[in-house]
């Protein structure tokens, strides 16, 4: 059950991850689900997991690009907010997906976060080398 649904817009030239983090800090959201992330980007930095533990390749793609969809979580690790968001972006020729590592907004980005009561927490997993969600 969602405690509250937050909907906001990120404006042109703003860094998408930083603005989502700023919003979460301002609204004191420490636990939630990114239900929707739509819009466009000037460029995007994606991480694509290639090997364990935690070996990503970085992929920078110049746009403009459409954000076809984005989803993820808001959690904490040692009291710090951790965003984990995956996106699918496209231009007129292809679509690419991956872990959102950064990007500049082109025209707009619309974000919907479902805040939840249960606190999602992350920890450093030895096998994957990643900040994984703690299970029950």
pLDDT at 47: 95
Number of domains in the chain: 1
Q: What confidence tens digit (pLDDT) does each residue in 4-40 have?
A: 999 999 999 999 999 999 999 999 999 999 999 999 9
Q: What percent of the chain has pLDDT over 90?
A: 89
Q: What is the CATH number of the domain that holds 103?
A: 3.30.1330.80
Residue 135 has pLDDT above 90, yes or no: no
**How is residue 119 written in tokens?**
């606190």
CA atoms of 83 and 73, how far apart (whole Å): 6
CA atoms of 17 and 25, how far apart (whole Å): 12
Q: What domain range is 78 assigned to?
A: 2-133
Contact 113, 29 (CB under 8 A): yes
**How is residue 57 written in tokens?**
């390749």
**How is residue 63 written in tokens?**
């746009």
pLDDT at 136: 63
């Amino acid at each position: 059950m969602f405690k509250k649904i937050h909907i906001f817009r990120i404006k042109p030239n703003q860094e998408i991850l930083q603005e989502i983090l700023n919003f979460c800090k301002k609204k004191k959201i420490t636990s939630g689900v990114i239900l929707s992330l739509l819009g466009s980007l000037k460029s995007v930095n994606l991480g694509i997991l290639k090997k364990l533990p935690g070996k990503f390749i970085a992929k920078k793609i110049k746009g403009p690009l459409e954000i076809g969809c984005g989803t993820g979580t808001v959690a904490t690790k040692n009291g710090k907010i951790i965003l984990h968001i995956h996106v699918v972006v496209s231009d007129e020729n292809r679509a690419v997906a991956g872990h959102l590592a950064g990007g500049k907004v082109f025209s707009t980005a619309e974000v919907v976060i479902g805040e939840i009561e249960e606190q999602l927490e992350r920890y450093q997993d030895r096998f994957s080398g990643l900040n994984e969600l703690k299970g029950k």
